[in-house]
Amino acid sequence: MGLGHALSRRKALDTVEGEQSELGKVLSTVDLIALGVGSTLGVGVYVLPGIVSRDIAGPGVVLSFLYAAIVSVLAGLCYAEFGARVPKAGSAYIYSYVTIGEFVAYIIGWNLIIEYVIAGASVARGVSLYLDSLFGNAMANYFRSIYAMDVPFLSGYIDFFAFSIAVLVSVFLAVGVKESLLLNNLLTTVNCTVVVFVIIIGSLYADFMNWEIPSSNVPLGSGEGGFLPYGWLGTLRGASTCFYGFVGFDVIATSGEETRNPRRAIPVSIIVSLLIIFLAYFGVSSVLTLMWPYYLQDVGAPLPHVFTELGLDWAKWVVTIGGLFGLSASLFGGMFPLPRVVYAMSQDGLLFEFLSRVHPRFKTPFVGTIFSGILTGTMAAIFNLKDLVDLMSMATLVCYTIVAMSVLILRYRTEGERDLEERFTSESESSPLLRTPSLKKHRFYLRKFPFANIEFSVYILTLLSGLLAYTLVCMQNADSELTVSPYITFTLLLLIILILVLFAGIPFDSTATTFQMPGLPLTPTLSIFANIYLMCLMELSTWYSFSIWLAAGLVIYFGYGLRHSTENQGQHRTLPKVEYERLQQSEQSQSGETSAAQRVIKAQDAGTQEVHLGITYVH
């Protein structure tokens, strides 16, 4: 088997859908919504509005959150479709494994690991610093007296408290998801109550003159005043920072293997949680900039600072204590998906096997969870995570882009992998455009175009979207050394529109009984463009750090994962025959279509009766 085949080998969708899970199904729709909201409404709601409003966007921070929310919703729709169709632990990793191939799936999984490690570590450190500030930095001074460090990119001291928090949360997760979810639901409820409290109290002290401050009253270096003191470019740059506040909803899709009725619960939970998160950010950032001028905001603890300046000390303490609950819920949500991604990758042989062992009593990936907690705690204890936040956003945006690409590939390719020429010569209810008289005349010629290769077309579409995003960033940035002609931008846009028109003429799979993202192929294309656009706004140092992390992952993959992959030489994970038959009956009852086994590979062991799923849908 050649290297190229090994890198591009895919996990069959029906095999993934049919595999039995050792993880307990204990999560409801309410649990998933609480998990998504709790993992997101932490650092974002208590810190981000102050940073973005003072230094980047001014009162336009509300628009920054709106743009970041739109980008997240587009990605959320893609996650919702895949999470419903492929409800397995591993999120974007599994999605890309099904559609694109093993190598890309490994890259995505590796990015998810650093995303969740940094997310958990940053919140653990945030809880420590937030609590320490209430006691006059007593913990920091004590830890410095034990062992002070003077190393670039590292903290000035070892934060043993942050390490302990991360490990303790991992123990809760390892002991049982159901028990730890009760605590998370409580913390999330308190967090949301505090957010509502801030919006109500803040609206009573709102002054719209703070959105119309004349430039003559604004200090030097704080913009031009008004609602957009830093202009539209500042608002867009603020969106790339505000995007950090929406990172975390994908924890819902990661938990599909432990969810009751995941095909309905996952899409509903993603959309509802994103709506709640946006309303919280929009409300808090609005009242914050209406209560107090944007250039006087505190970047560390903006909410307590504003209430103190207004003489509302009692409200300050409500927000301070509520912030601890919110950060605790965010810590739980940030650490929850990490062991599940590690579990999925190690179960597929791409990471070390011992990380996928499920505890017989707790029904959780026990070893992987404890390992993840130690890794996260170590990062929280010794690293200065300020420079790593952008790295987390970069890794997340890459994952979102791959998921959007995967949606296009899967929807246009799952018609039983039939030859595209046959699909063009048949009537398709899923493609009304194909049946229009003007297009029916040219079916013969359309079959000859390169877009008949779905994967290749999606890659080209992504490349053009990336080039368009980069040219727009260069045109908007006055300091850019690269001069881009508007004709180049127009040409790129025209090519993208042409590919979308060609895609619109291809029949796609609309037979699935689960949630399907609307607006194909435009919606995933917009998601791809928006994600890459935010990536282009990031610092060059972030791209360097991202490259180093990828290099470390490649060493592990080519040194271990490539040879130990369960997909290597057709060694797929197998399924009991009774489960295989049950799945066939379920498919027939749901869709009314015939589901036939294309091939059945019997197990070599005489004492077992197993089959490998290779199901093809016959239309």
Q: How many CA atoms lie less than 13 Å away from 351 in the CB half-sphere? A: 24
Tell me the pLDDT band of 196, cut-offs 50, 70 and 90. very high
Q: Return the closest-CA partner of residue 183 out of 321, 37, 34, 320.
A: 34
Q: Return the closest-CA partner of residue 527 out of 80, 205, 90, 158.
A: 80
Q: Is 418 helix (H, G, I), strand (E, B) or coil?
A: coil
- Token pair for residue 305? 């600072």
Alpha carbons 252 and 321: distance in angstroms, whole number = 27
What's residue 26's pLDDT?
65
Alpha carbons 506 and 42: distance in angstroms, whole number = 43
What's residue 594's pLDDT?
37
Chain position carrying tokens 């819902």: 252
Per-residue DSSP letters for 491-505?
Answer: HHHHHHHHHHHHHHT
Whether residue 18 contacts residue 249, with contact meaning beta carbons closer than 8 Å, is answered with no
What's residue 368's pLDDT?
83
Alpha carbons 280 and 37: distance in angstroms, whole number = 10
Alpha carbons 166 and 171: distance in angstroms, whole number = 9
Residue 608 has pLDDT above 50, yes or no: no
Alpha carbons 242 and 63: distance in angstroms, whole number = 10
Q: What is the CA radius of gyration of the chain?
A: 25
What's residue 87's pLDDT?
60
Alpha carbons 427 and 107: distance in angstroms, whole number = 38
Residue 398 has pLDDT above 80, yes or no: yes
User: What are the start-end ranges of the H helices in 134-250?
Assistant: 138-146, 160-175, 177-204, 231-242
How long, in residues, is the chain?
Answer: 619
| Sequence ranges of the domains in the chain | 3-15+33-408, 424-536, 575-618
Q: CA dist 58 to 201, 295, 310, Å? A: 21, 7, 20
Read off the pLDDT of residues 117-130 as tens digits, 9 standing for 90 and up: 888 888 888 778 77
Read off the pLDDT of residues 572-592 as tens digits, 9 standing for 90 and up: 444 333 433 443 444 344 344
How confident is the model over 384-388, as a mean pLDDT? 66
Q: Is 72 helix (H, G, I), strand (E, B) or coil?
A: helix
How confident is the model over 140-169, as a mean pLDDT? 85
DSSP bridge pairs for 259: 27
Q: Return the closest-CA partner of residue 405 out of 98, 47, 125.
A: 98
Alpha carbons 326 and 41: distance in angstroms, whole number = 7
Tell me the pLDDT band of 416, cut-offs 50, 70 and 90. very low
Q: Of the ranges 33-42, 434-443, 516-525, 571-580, which is most confident?
A: 516-525
Q: In 10 A of CB 182, how many CB atoms?
A: 11
What's residue 586's pLDDT?
40
Residue 553 has pLDDT above 80, yes or no: yes
Read off the pLDDT of residues 246-291 as tens digits, 9 standing for 90 and up: 887 777 766 666 677 777 788 888 889 889 999 999 999 999 999 9
Q: Return the closest-CA partner of residue 287 out of 37, 47, 49, 66.
A: 49
What percent of the chain lies above the pLDDT cut of 90?
Answer: 16
Strands (E), 404-524: none
How deeply is 116 buried, as exposed, middle or buried, from its count of CB atoms within 10 A (0-12, 13-18, 19+)?
A: buried
Q: CA dist 65 to 78, 130, 298, 389, Å? A: 20, 24, 18, 17
How deeply is 519 buried, as exposed, middle or buried, from its count of CB atoms within 10 A (0-12, 13-18, 19+)?
A: exposed
Q: Is 291 helix (H, G, I), strand (E, B) or coil?
A: helix
Q: Of the ranges 222-236, 418-432, 447-461, 592-606, which is most confident?
A: 222-236
Residue 235 has pLDDT above 80, yes or no: yes
What's residue 604's pLDDT?
36
Measured CA angle at 585 (ends 584, 587), to 5 deg: 65
What's the whole-number average pLDDT of the chain?
Answer: 76
Q: Determine the straight-line distance between the first and last CA of the chain, rounded to whole angstroms.
A: 32
Read off the pLDDT of residues 289-312 as tens digits, 9 standing for 90 and up: 999 999 998 876 788 889 989 999
What's residue 406's pLDDT?
82
- Token pair for residue 77? 């729709």
Global pTM value: 0.73
C-beta contacts of 425-428 below 8 A and 24+ residues apart: 426/507, 428/507
How confident is the model over 63-88, as a mean pLDDT? 82
Tell me the pLDDT band of 525, cut-offs 50, 70 and 90. very high
Least confident among 140-144, 360-364, 394-398, 552-556: 360-364
Q: Return the closest-CA partner of residue 580 out of 85, 14, 22.
A: 14
Does the structural domain 3-15+33-408 have CATH classification 1.20.1740.10? Answer: yes
Residue 369 has pLDDT above 80, yes or no: yes
Chain position carrying tokens 């002991």: 175
What's residue 93's pLDDT?
79
Alpha carbons 378 and 375: distance in angstroms, whole number = 5
Alpha carbons 425 and 423: distance in angstroms, whole number = 5
How confident is the model over 332-350, as a mean pLDDT? 81
- Token pair for residue 306? 């504003």
Residue 188 has pLDDT above 80, yes or no: no
Q: Please give the backbone phi and psi of residue 576, each rounded to the nearest 5 degrees, phi first.
A: -60, 145
What's residue 178's pLDDT?
59
What's residue 219's pLDDT?
87
Read off the pLDDT of residues 467-501 as tens digits, 9 standing for 90 and up: 999 998 888 776 666 677 788 889 999 999 988 88
What's residue 467's pLDDT?
94
Q: Is 154 helix (H, G, I), strand (E, B) or coil?
A: strand
Q: Are strands 575-576 and 615-618 parallel, antiparallel or unpaired?
A: unpaired
What's residue 481's pLDDT?
66
How confident is the model over 373-386, as a mean pLDDT? 82
What's residue 127's pLDDT?
79
Residue 377 has pLDDT above 60, yes or no: yes
Q: CA dist 316 to 130, 136, 307, 312, 323, Å? A: 13, 16, 5, 6, 10
Least confident among 10-24, 113-127, 180-194: 10-24
Whether residue 360 has a cis bond before it, omega within 30° of 0: no
